[in-house]
């Protein structure tokens, strides 16, 4: 039986959330949209290409129903670009989350 040489390296459950996200990289702000989110990282699409290894900051509002609340939960994240690739004409960025902070409105 042939096995694929690609091994799944993800360590956290991913959620297919399409949320607006504000990304700060190289002293510039970009608006983006997530494709999926986990406790360890996020995949999002934005209007700029970022270099692998670049430090980034981003914030997003998680839906309140995820936490049983009536208000969205703001999450401020600090991390780095793990992969950058072109996906059907869009810039896709896979980022590792090194640190995050929850804020309630």
In angstroms, rounded to a whole number, what is the distance separating the alpha carbons of residues 74 and 71?
9
In angstroms, rounded to a whole number, what is the distance separating the alpha carbons of residues 101 and 69?
17
Structural tokens at position 105 = 């409105």
Q: What angle do CA 75, 79, 84 make, to 5 degrees?
A: 115
What is the structure's pLDDT at 11? 60
Specify the CATH number for 20-104; select among 2.40.10.220, 2.40.50.100, 3.40.50.720, 3.60.20.40.
Answer: 2.40.10.220
In angstroms, rounded to a whole number, what is the distance separating the alpha carbons of residues 79 and 23?
11
Q: pTM of this prediction?
A: 0.80
Phi, psi of 80 (to 5 degrees): -150, 155
Q: What is the pLDDT of residues 39-59, one digit of tens each?
A: 899 999 998 889 999 999 999
């Amino acid at each position: 039986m042939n096995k694929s040489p690609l091994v799944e390296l993800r360590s956290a459950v991913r959620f297919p959330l399409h949320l607006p996200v504000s990304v700060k990289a190289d002293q510039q702000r970009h608006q983006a949209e997530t494709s999926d989110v986990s406790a360890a990282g996020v995949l999002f699409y934005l209007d700029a290409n970022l270099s692998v290894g670049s430090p980034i900051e981003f914030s997003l509002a998680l839906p309140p129903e995820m936490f049983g609340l009536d208000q969205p939960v703001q999450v401020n994240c600090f991390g780095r670009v793990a992969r950058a690739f072109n996906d059907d004409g869009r810039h896709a960025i896979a980022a590792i989350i090194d640190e995050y902070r929850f804020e309630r409105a």
